[in-house]
Structure 1
Amino acid sequence: MRRLATSAAVAALMAGFAPAAFAHTAAVTATTPAPASTTQAQELRGAPVADLIARVDIPWKRFQLDNGLTVLVNEDHKAPVVAVSVWYNVGSKDEPKGSTGFAHLFEHLMFGGSENSPSSHIQTMNAAGATALNGTTWFDRTNYFQTVPTPALEYTLYLESDRMGYLLGQVSQEVLDLQRGVVQNEKRQGDNQPYGLTYYATLEALFPEGHPYRHSTIGSMADLDAASMDTVRQWFIDNYGPNNSVLVLSGDITEAKARELVGKYFNGIKAGPVNTPAAADVPTLAAPVSETLHDRVAQARVSRNWVTPGMLHDDTVPLSIAASVLGGLNSSRLDNALVRGEQTASGVSAGNQVFQRVSMFSYSVTVKPGQDPEAVAAKMDAAFNDLMANGPTQDEIDRVVTQYASRTIQGLEQANGKASVLAEGQLYAGDPDHYKKQLERYAAVTPQQVRDAMQRWLTRPVYSQTVLPGEREAYVDAAATPSGATPTPAAEIVRVQRDPAPSIGDVKNVDFPDVERATLSNGIEVVYAHSTAVPVTRIAMEFDAGIAADRADRLGAHTLMLNVMEEGSTTRNSLALAEAQERLGATLGFGSSMDRTVASLSSVSTNLEPSLTLFADVLRNPAFSPSEVERIRAQRLARLASEKTQPAALASRAFPSLVYGETHPYGRPNSGSGTPEVITVLTRADLVGEHQSWIRPDNAKLFVVSDLPLAQVTAQLNAAFGDWRAPSAAKGVKDFSAALPQTSARIVLIDRPQSPQSIIMGGQVLPVSGTDDNLVLNLGNTVLGTDFLSRINADLRETKGWSYGVRGMLMVVQDRMHYLINAPVQADRTGDSVQALLDQYNRFLGGEGVTPAEHERTLKGDTRSLAGSYETGGAVLSALRSNSLYGRPDGYQEAMATRINAATAAQMDAAVKAAIDPTKFVWVVVGDAEKVKPQLEALGLPVEVRAID
């Protein structure tokens, strides 16, 4: 399970900060003027932020069982699904010395089944049709969540109550050892990334020995090795009782039904010990601390860090706003000074990472290659000092608050998003409406309050961290034999026999919104679906282009053109564009799949008209300013250098040309970033020509999901795009006629020293295209490659514990598809893992096809999950687009259940056998060749070793 992620709604709402990945950019300093635009555009203003905040409401009811379990119910019948979210008031801050990582380890153990449901919780819930299924652990809490069709609610509550009250009899030494290994591979996977070890150093520098927040949630290898059965059992008994939990039900449920079902399944669980989550002060360093680390990175990174107050402190919201202004908004001061202005940085960030007891305020700069890190850091600090001395402007605050409110509205569309918001408010503040108070606090903050909060907390001694390119520090891996794996046998747990799990009722077929169509006055087709869940309009304008539109000798041109488009129109420069989006609470984006280029807009519907004005300006009037071309070119070259330090990027850059050939439109990296040789020589004229060839009305189709009626949306679209005419230049054409190479089994090993984990990618081009009917093939591969208990994931993760997760995927594209296995594995099991994968495919294709149990769970899971698959406007929009791309009828989603239920195991076997051939698999392995090459050579396949270029 992911240990850090929460829903987008929670991250935006309750945390009150730019998330841990932080943002890129925020407003202009007094000393760094914005680049001038050639023509002054009208200022676009949206609805007052008070109007946006007034739209945010989550009705709820609360009750408590005698055993202390707090239950919140949000009744919303927009879809026949219910989000079930259980939050335990225990996280890594509550772990004693020597037990770091236990909260997260238990998150994994609680997915392994329970006494009366011994199979994997993920598998049983998948078969029940769950969507948004996962669990996460962080410093302050552990949560488990899933959204299920209403007829599966009672079954889900049975399972959640069983793992809350009747778990330990299922946690054997074998289960503990297996999940310990999975967690350690999850740790390796994160640690293996560029800058992957820096967070540990930050925590150890900011917090004194013994402070609850000093160690990371993932824990240490040594403590995980030492976890004994007795210690693990006691951890569960002490922390996972109903009196330390919040259960939220959100969706197609009434309070009366919730009381009935929750009482039925949870009343019999005894209360646990009284639990008081660890208290923690806000430490202050005795003096400034500077530390320099080294890693195999392409660019230096410099950061400044402080510990600041926790979630409920009066200064937390002002500090979060300060971070957004400094480096969180796209118009941020750091971005304007260093990325747009001096252009000495390829990226900046700032955030106030908010937790229950403390927060961590940080800002950082990624130094452009060739620049002096100390000089760039001095400029970074100057922007920070200016903000702290003078405070932000009211306009900067207004833009932060408008974006925050807009994100909040959009994040509450999912039932699980609302459940998470209510749970966090109850868990940390004792108030499910805490999110409303946060919104009100954001709206009321003044520039003086931000300035005062910064001066109170950010004038204290700072921890400065610099990461320079070089050999990374020594890595401490897990022991060969965990010390906790061979203890004195623990006492046997007496299982409690409960009544059998309730059955799941009939799940109705998905009711996909009716699809309507219109045509703009210039001929652009509009494909529309109505959705009233939130007052939001989502628009995607697709162009028949994509990464495949790049010429073989000009890779990266298309995406570079899109990047420069986003940086200014003939009426608005990049800063003006960023500020306009923030004032409207709108999000504009450009991107490319292999087959399509998309320009997207997401806006609260009250601000749709001015947002469309901005959207049309960017699409129709790109400036391609020479200075912006050079700035974005330099950023792209820095990105390409960074891709060579990322293990997954190295594999994905190498794989496509090996199976498609270098001249095929799909035989290039899926990132679309191109090559340094091409990016260096592209001219402004090349980019203008690229735009004229592909970004044009006669190559476009519009997809819309909105709470506004089609006629109103069409009128606004016509006003923005109806008079857009195609240029005289010829429309671009893609050519898929290149012959595909005949592949045979071989291994390409990319040497990446000091890698504790290897990335394995393998696969082949398939004899099918995305426009073919691949439904049965997908069902067969669910059993083989994509399900949590697929043959390959069940083997490498759930049986052997060598990986955090393995997938074999049908990579759907419009023309010839390919099959891709993605397997990050511990380095010492690289060769064994390739062999294990081959064994699984060969057994499946050699006669050990889909079993009756696999057939039943796949069909039930896929049909039942349809109810929750199109809960959001974003999911509906994606379906409209994929139906168009792959030539599917409007009724495709509603017809799926019948077609899935008609598929036999024999048909699934035959479809897989006709498509997949392991003798043609080409394998790409990124790892430490000194450790990995002998393992791979023992497989008897040709091995080619490549250095990182």
Structure 2
Amino acid sequence: MLAYRAFLTAGCALAVLSQAAAAQTAAQTAAVPAPAPVSQLVKAVDIPYQEFTLKNGLRVIVHTDRKAPIVAVSVWYDVGSKHEPKGKTGFAHLFEHLMFNGSENAPGDFFEPLQQVGATDFNGTTYFDRTNYFETVPTKALARALYLESDRMGHLTGAITQGVLDEQRGVVQNEKRQGDNQPYGLLRYKATEGLFPADHPYGHTTIGSMADLDAASLADVKNWFRSHYGPNNAVLVLAGDIDVATARPLVERYFGDIPRGPESVAPPAPVPTGLPGPAKEVMKDRVAATMVFKEWAVPGLNDKDAAGLQVAAGVLGGLASSRFDNVLVKGEKLAVQASAEYEPFAQVGTFQLTAIVRPGVDANLVSQRLDQLVAEFLKTGPTADEVNRYVTSTLSSRIDGLEAVGGFGGKATALAEGALYSNDPGFYKKQLAALAAQTPASVKAAADRWLSRPSYELQIVNGERDAYADAKAVPPAKVVEAPTPAVKGDRGPLPEVGEIAGLSFPKVERTKLSNGIELIYANRSVVPITQAVLSFDAGVAADVADKLGTQQLTLAMMDEGTKGLNSIQIAEARERLGAAIDSGSSADRTTLSLRVPSANLAAGTQLWADIARAPSFPESELGRVKNQQLAGIAQELTSPQGLVQRVLPKLVSAGSPYAKAQGSGDAAAVQSLTRADLVAFQQAWLRPDKAKIFVVSDRPLAEVRQVMEARFGDWKPSGTPGTKTFPATVNGVTPRIVLIDRPDSPQSLIAGASPTGLKGTDDLLPLEVGNDALGGSFLGRLNMDLREDRHWSYGVQGNYSRKAMAVPYVVYAPVQADQTGPAVAALRDDVTQYVTTKPMTQDEFTRAINSGTRSLSGDFETSDNVLAAMQSNDLYGRPDDYYATITQKYRALTLPQVTQATKAVIDPARFVWVVVGEAAKVKPQLDTLGLPVEVMPAAAVAGTPPASVAK
């Protein structure tokens, strides 16, 4: 669907430099070690492959990567929303869902046999140009995955019944509602209509219209399948522990007998030369801040200008040191966030500018300044340093992403995209080469050609939301349907799965720096990237009780300046190194993380350590960063998720430091914070005696330790360390429903939580196994009931929210507004039955054990996965080899043990519920459930944030 950003994330920024300050920048950054050249980074990106084509036209691409006993299976069909005729919008996406509901020889949910074999990264997506399906499976389960993919390619239509269609139609419509229910959620429709003519292939969104989805008939969808899903319109990529000699006979066996279908033809899709309607429009929505959105239609990814447009977007609004950030956010303080993005499709592209206007500022002024900044860029072009910084940052991110063989962005995706969009699996190399070859002149020329034309502008302002078209009302009864029998003969049973190789978790080594900081290290040599986390024993639980938001503001100010560098110098140095330096926090830990090409390890860690050890918290930037956090608080009061996250912790963790987890904090408190408050928090909590360093790198421990010793070994604490105090016993909750009134909500977000009396240091494995069948997986009863059986929701989950000192059980369920009350009742019934009359079955237990043990190699495929596991093991007091030995722990469990453990901690009578929805429609439904219902307006959740603070 049309790309649009999540807004009001905390940023790092500074005022525009004067000429004198610019000269100072050059002098100070000269002290930072020189980064590796772009050419060295380009060479690190390589995905060798071989390919063959079956007689029926199926194109098969194979990449061998033996790092783990797993294979990514990725099937890409040349059909997307651009192929949809008038009256059938949303069909491609609807069919994506239908293809997960079983095929003629593999009836039932597609995820069942995949979860049994321990598949990871399994999903499907649809966009303008394609529909794709992907899963990463253990090598010994490859035959099963190919059987399943081939059966839905060649043997699907007999499994599509009216009941299946109605079920998935409801799911898709709730997916649409879920997106529409967000602040600015209707932007994608208005912007698409404003940029493209209605009859243009890219002139409607991938999600489609409710009316067209309502009108889809069984004959329509079957004809759609026959017209588009033949093997000659597909690309199959196998990446991982596989080679061509092994792949070819398997693919021939499972796909070779599928007949060719009609050829998919790309519809004519020229870049529009003019706008179909007004160049400027205003839309009303219940938002906390006005958005100014501008967009151009531009060429797609195969055009010679694609790389230049990508760099132009990065320089204007993609870098931390972008021109929009430096001028609009940090210099003139007209916006709290500003960005630019080039989104290339196969035949066209879009170039988007977005600014979230600072409260009290005229949106038209921001619009004018965006135009002026673009005009200045077209006049002068970027500098060579800007081009180099963007290219280096982009290459670093791409190298890191290609560690994975599959999923949403791994190597299989790169090969498939190239084959489908550009008829070249190796097209990624051409893209990177074109990017590395960009110069100020080439970027200016591309921008001149396309951004000098008129843009479409949309302003979204606060007000009663513009009219929203929902689906037809449907009866609330469950769809009950007999399993679909095989109707085209027996292809034989699902292939057996061989013995799955055990997890080879990297060895974790521990050492200490001179000052006692512990260094926990693991070696991964797949990509030349080092990832490190400086983890402090702080977290949300350490936030200042009467000044909630102190920790977040402190972290947001950390890279606004150090003793040696200012914010722009920090951002530019980071970009030159291709380094990502980020801050974050969980309930128990506060982190400063680093990801950097290992060739730039010395320079990257020098910058990282400077931010960690010597933040200056400049007074000149404090007002602006406060405004950004205040705007974030205001946004949370318009977001269903933001409202739940602010209210639920106070109810389920009353009396505990974990109750401090209230979004971005208290508005009045944030407004009153001073530089001294931030310094005090940093000195109490972000200090060496509360720190550990976790590293995953291709460089040896000796080298890593030497670098970390040089950066942190002489760091000494000062002042008194902070302390966290947890109550000896957990306060009980008062079962009730808290209804947060959010008008104009097509969905309600339901969240339920109950304390368990557990700690994160307890052995939760039996409980996690037990939860697999309740709320922990797609096949869990909560999701299958509300999504698949009743089709009231796009997805439901229930999980143990693990913290060091508490583990509440939490359920999340976004549901269509008219079924809010029945959905809460269904959730309560499902949980109650699970711990009483309908406990986990032997089949569910077996599936959970199989999934848990067989998925391990996929679960820990990347350095990100390993780094997260190292931190979790340390936090919960588990041995460093916990995951290397977890298979034996799984296999020692029994069904009675799991059932008893689950019943002992989940009490349906102890749940407190938070519902975010339109009270006028929802409260009468909730009043029938036998629980007290408290209603509060969304604005009362955190008080009314001040509009702004002084510059």
* TM-score band w.r.t. shorter chain: over 0.9
Task: State whether structure 2 residue 932 is matched by structure 1 residue 925.
Answer: no
> How far apart, CA to CA, are the structure 2 residues paired with 1:594 and 1:384?
42
> How far apart, CA to CA, are the structure 1 residues paired with 2:425 and 2:334?
45
Letter of the structure 1 residue corresponding to residue 696 of structure 2: V
| Corresponding residue of 2:886 | 896
Among 755, 758, 772, which residue is 1:765 paired with?
755
Q: TM-score, normalised by structure 1?
A: 0.95
> CA 1:748–1:502 in structure 2 vs 1: closer, same or farther (change >3 Å)?
same
Q: C-alpha displacement at 1:847, in angstroms?
A: 2.6
Is the partner of 1:415 in helix, strand or coil?
coil
Aligned counterparts, 1:446-465, within 5 A: 446-465=439-458
Letter of the structure 2 residue corresponding to residue 697 of structure 1: P
Q: Is the 8 A contact 1:307 1:361 kept in 2?
A: yes
Q: C-alpha displacement at 1:670, in angstroms?
A: 5.4
Task: State whether structure 2 residue 678 is matched by structure 1 residue 687.
Answer: yes
| Corresponding residue of 1:667 | 659
Task: State whether structure 2 residue 828 is matched by structure 1 residue 825.
Answer: no
Instruction: List per-residue Cα deviations over 1:576-614 (Å, max 9, x = no partner).
Output: 111111100010011100000111101110000000000
Q: C-alpha displacement at 1:742, in angstroms?
A: 2.3
Q: C-alpha displacement at 1:135, in angstroms?
A: 0.7
Letter of the structure 2 residue corresponding to residue 355 of structure 1: F
Task: State whether structure 2 residue 565 is matched by structure 1 residue 584.
Answer: no
Q: Is the 8 A contact 2:49 2:61 kept in 1?
A: yes
Q: C-alpha displacement at 1:739, in angstroms?
A: 5.6
Q: Is the 8 A contact 2:16 2:330 kept in 1?
A: no
| Corresponding residue of 1:112 | 101
Task: State whether structure 2 residue 844 is matched by structure 1 residue 854.
Answer: yes
> How far apart, CA to CA, are the structure 2 residues paired with 1:769 and 1:25?
35
> How far apart, CA to CA, are the structure 2 residues paired with 1:945 and 1:19?
31
| Corresponding residue of 2:605 | 612
Letter of the structure 1 residue corresponding to residue 660 of structure 2: R
| Corresponding residue of 2:141 | 152
| Corresponding residue of 1:722 | 713
Is the partner of 2:800 in helix, strand or coil?
strand
Q: Is the 8 A contact 1:130 1:868 kept in 2?
A: yes
Q: C-alpha displacement at 1:34, in angstroms?
A: 6.7
Q: C-alpha displacement at 1:33, in angstroms?
A: 8.8
Instruction: List per-residue Cα deviations over 1:100-151 (Å, max 9, x = no partner).
Output: 0011011101111111111211222111111111111000001011111111
Letter of the structure 2 residue corresponding to residue 877 of structure 1: L
Task: State whether structure 2 residue 567 is matched by structure 1 residue 567.
Answer: no
Is the partner of 2:557 in helix, strand or coil?
helix
> CA 1:160–1:631 in structure 2 vs 1: closer, same or farther (change >3 Å)?
same
Q: Is the 8 A contact 1:302 1:466 kept in 2?
A: yes
| Corresponding residue of 2:629 | 636
Task: State whether structure 2 residue 376 is matched by structure 1 residue 386.
Answer: yes
Q: Is the 8 A contact 2:2 2:205 kept in 1?
A: no
Instruction: List per-residue Cα deviations over 1:782-822 (Å, max 9, x = no partner).
Output: 11111111111110001110000001110000001111100
Q: C-alpha displacement at 1:26, in angstroms?
A: 10
Instruction: List per-residue Cα deviations over 1:302-324 (Å, max 9, x = no partner).
Output: 12111001111111111111111
Among 375, 397, 418, which residue is 2:411 paired with?
418
> How far apart, CA to CA, are the structure 2 residues paired with 1:242 and 1:28?
56
Moved more, 451-460 or 37-46: 37-46
Letter of the structure 1 residue corresponding to residue 770 of structure 2: G
Is the partner of 1:594 in helix, strand or coil?
coil
> CA 1:83–1:800 in structure 2 vs 1: closer, same or farther (change >3 Å)?
same
> How far apart, CA to CA, are the structure 2 residues paired with 1:819 and 1:522?
40
Among 792, 795, 801, which residue is 2:782 paired with?
792
| Corresponding residue of 2:220 | 231
Q: TM-score, normalised by structure 2?
A: 0.95
What 5-or-longer segments of structure 1 have no aligned partner?
Answer: 6-17
| Corresponding residue of 2:150 | 161
Instruction: List per-residue Cα deviations over 1:249-297 (Å, max 9, x = no partner).
Output: 0000011000010011000111111221222010022586110001000
Letter of the structure 2 residue corresponding to residue 344 of structure 1: L
Task: State whether structure 2 residue 527 is matched by structure 1 residue 537.
Answer: no
Among 184, 193, 206, which residue is 2:173 paired with?
184
Is the partner of 1:590 in helix, strand or coil?
strand
Q: Is the 8 A contact 2:8 2:632 kept in 1?
A: no
* Identity across the alignment (%): 51
| Corresponding residue of 1:71 | 60
Moved more, 929-938 or 121-130: 121-130
| Corresponding residue of 1:626 | 619
> How far apart, CA to CA, are the structure 2 residues paired with 1:36 and 1:195?
41
Q: C-alpha displacement at 1:385, in angstroms?
A: 1.1
> How far apart, CA to CA, are the structure 2 residues paired with 1:698 and 1:361?
47
Moved more, 251-260 or 33-42: 33-42
> How far apart, CA to CA, are the structure 2 residues paired with 1:33 and 1:278?
55
> CA 1:248–1:22 in structure 2 vs 1: closer, same or farther (change >3 Å)?
farther
Letter of the structure 2 residue corresponding to residue 721 of structure 1: F
> How far apart, CA to CA, are the structure 1 residues paired with 2:854 and 2:383?
51
Among 493, 497, 506, which residue is 1:500 paired with?
493
Instruction: List per-residue Cα deviations over 1:54-80 (Å, max 9, x = no partner).
Output: 111101001000000000000111111
| Corresponding residue of 1:10 | none
Letter of the structure 2 residue corresponding to residue 304 of structure 1: K
Moved more, 450-459 or 827-836: 450-459
> After TM superposition, where is structure 1 displaced by more than 4 Å over at least 4 residues in a row?
18-39, 491-494
| Corresponding residue of 1:14 | none
Aligned counterparts, 1:133-282, within 5 A: 133-282=122-271
Aligned counterparts, 1:258-657, within 5 A: 258-285=247-274, 289-416=279-406, 417-481=410-474, 494-657=487-650
Letter of the structure 1 residue corresponding to residue 262 of structure 2: P
> How far apart, CA to CA, are the structure 2 residues paired with 1:444 and 1:471?
49
> CA 1:206–1:28 in structure 2 vs 1: closer, same or farther (change >3 Å)?
farther
Is the partner of 1:467 in helix, strand or coil?
strand
Q: C-alpha displacement at 1:37, in angstroms?
A: 7.5
> How far apart, CA to CA, are the structure 1 residues paired with 2:358 and 2:331?
13
> How far apart, CA to CA, are the structure 2 residues paired with 1:32 and 1:387?
18
Task: State whether structure 2 residue 43 is matched by structure 1 residue 57.
Answer: no
Q: C-alpha displacement at 1:572, in angstroms?
A: 1.1
Task: State whether structure 2 residue 799 is matched by structure 1 residue 809.
Answer: yes
Instruction: List per-residue Cα deviations over 1:708-732 (Å, max 9, x = no partner).
Output: 00001000111111111111x1111
Instruction: List per-residue Cα deviations over 1:542-592 (Å, max 9, x = no partner).
Output: 100001001321211112111101221111111111111110001001110
> CA 1:670–1:117 in structure 2 vs 1: closer, same or farther (change >3 Å)?
farther
Letter of the structure 1 residue corresponding to residue 842 of structure 2: P
> CA 1:440–1:130 in structure 2 vs 1: closer, same or farther (change >3 Å)?
same
> CA 1:454–1:381 in structure 2 vs 1: closer, same or farther (change >3 Å)?
same
Task: State whether structure 2 residue 835 is matched by structure 1 residue 845.
Answer: yes
> How far apart, CA to CA, are the structure 2 residues paired with 1:412 and 1:26?
30
Task: State whether structure 2 residue 115 is matched by structure 1 residue 126.
Answer: yes
Among 941, 944, 948, which residue is 2:931 paired with?
941
> CA 1:611–1:30 in structure 2 vs 1: closer, same or farther (change >3 Å)?
closer
Among 687, 694, 698, which residue is 1:703 paired with?
694
Is the partner of 1:719 in helix, strand or coil?
helix
> How far apart, CA to CA, are the structure 2 residues paired with 1:307 and 1:185?
30
Letter of the structure 2 residue corresponding to residue 890 of structure 1: D
> CA 1:461–1:28 in structure 2 vs 1: closer, same or farther (change >3 Å)?
farther
Q: Is the 8 A contact 1:22 1:351 kept in 2?
A: no
Q: Is the 8 A contact 2:117 2:497 kept in 1?
A: yes
Q: Is the 8 A contact 1:37 1:572 kept in 2?
A: no
Instruction: List per-residue Cα deviations over 1:637-669 (Å, max 9, x = no partner).
Output: 1110111000111012111111211x4211133
Q: Is the 8 A contact 1:26 1:332 kept in 2?
A: no
Letter of the structure 2 residue corresponding to residue 413 of structure 1: E
> How far apart, CA to CA, are the structure 2 residues paired with 1:26 and 1:156?
48
Q: How many aligned positions are there?
A: 926
Letter of the structure 2 residue corresponding to residue 96 of structure 1: P
> How far apart, CA to CA, are the structure 2 residues paired with 1:333 and 1:345?
13
